[in-house]
Copies of this chain bind each other. A is one copy, B any other.
Amino acid sequence: MPLDQLPRHHGGADALARLLGQALLAGEWQPGEAFPRELDLCQHFDVSRNQVRNALASLTATGLIERTAGRGTRVCPISDWHLLDPLMSDWLAGLNNPDPQLVREIFAFRYSAEPVVAGLAASAAEPRDIAEIDRAFQGMRITANAGQTEQHVEHDLAFHEAIYRASHNLVWRQMGHLLRPSIVALIQRSQHSVATLDDSLRRHGRVLEAIRTGRPMAAEQAARDVLKRTAIDLGIVAEAIDA
């Protein structure tokens, strides 16, 4: 609501869309509330109406706002947000402190979906896919120490995304986008001790092994185990539920 509290921006319409989108994702406006008018945005950010309109078009496309001629611009309820839009995932991943509720929802999705995806991957993966997963895994191993969390996270991401790709299904592959916000939230919340990193690595390894040997059931279970570890690190569940 307080437009004045938003920072100035640098860059084109995409940067503006990102700024406004992230403000909306952070809950700066309540659903149903009115969004600032075009001309106010022009004035505040000192950009042309063109750029504002382009940015607002992106926000409309992601279901964050709804615009009608004469009425104005209103903020949509969370249930209307297109969480699967890659743009949205990108904005979410760049958010400093995403809504915990949202993080939990996305994680709950992963917890139910990723075992299935791993199972499909175990059935459908070709040597090239396995090589890609393996490369990401080796990357995780090498960077599994305190000073390289940045690179470790990238390899972690690549690992999971490669599994989605290995499912060889167009729809599942699209969902790989959701991984980035989920995993980025992970590092922002958890302090990876050496012990948990080692444990996490071992569990990832079991997923890789199950996919490599083509055992869907084992892959499902292994993926579930990885996510149990992740749930603990995210602070979603208390420690020590599983073995």
Task: Decide if the interface of chain A is mainly helix, strand, loop or mixed.
Answer: helix
Contact, CB under 8 Å: A84 / B175 = yes
Contact, CB under 8 Å: A105 / B178 = no
Indicate if A191 sits at the interface (CB-CB under 8 A): no
CA distance A84 to B63 in the complex (A): 13
Which of B61, B83, B120, B170 lies in contact with A174, CB distance below 8 A? Answer: B83
Indicate if A85 sits at the interface (CB-CB under 8 A): yes
Contact, CB under 8 Å: B61 / A106 = no
CA distance A174 to B105 in the complex (A): 12
Indicate if A64 sits at the interface (CB-CB under 8 A): no
Copies of this chain, how many?
Answer: 2
A84-B84, A113-B116 known; A105 vs B169 contact (CB < 8 Å)? yes
CA distance A171 to B172 in the complex (A): 13
Q: Which residue of B lies closest to A62 (CB)?
A: B61
Contact, CB under 8 Å: B170 / A105 = yes
Chain B proximity mask over A77-111: 1 for CB below 8 Å, otherwise 0:
01101111111000000000000001001101100
CA distance A84 to B174 in the complex (A): 8
CA distance A123 to B66 in the complex (A): 33
- What are the residues of chain B within 8 A of A87 when measuring CB–CB? 61
In the complex, what's the smallest C-beta–C-beta distance from A46 to chain B, in angstroms? 23
Contact, CB under 8 Å: B170 / A78 = yes
Contact, CB under 8 Å: A172 / B109 = yes
Q: Which residue of B lies closest to A81 (CB)?
A: B170
CA distance A82 to B62 in the complex (A): 12
Contact, CB under 8 Å: A171 / B116 = no
CA distance A218 to B178 in the complex (A): 29
19 pairs, A vs B, C-beta closer than 8 Å: A54-B57, A58-B61, A61-B87, A78-B170, A79-B173, A81-B170, A82-B86, A82-B174, A83-B170, A84-B171, A84-B174, A102-B170, A105-B170, A105-B171, A109-B172, A112-B116, A112-B172, A113-B113, A113-B116
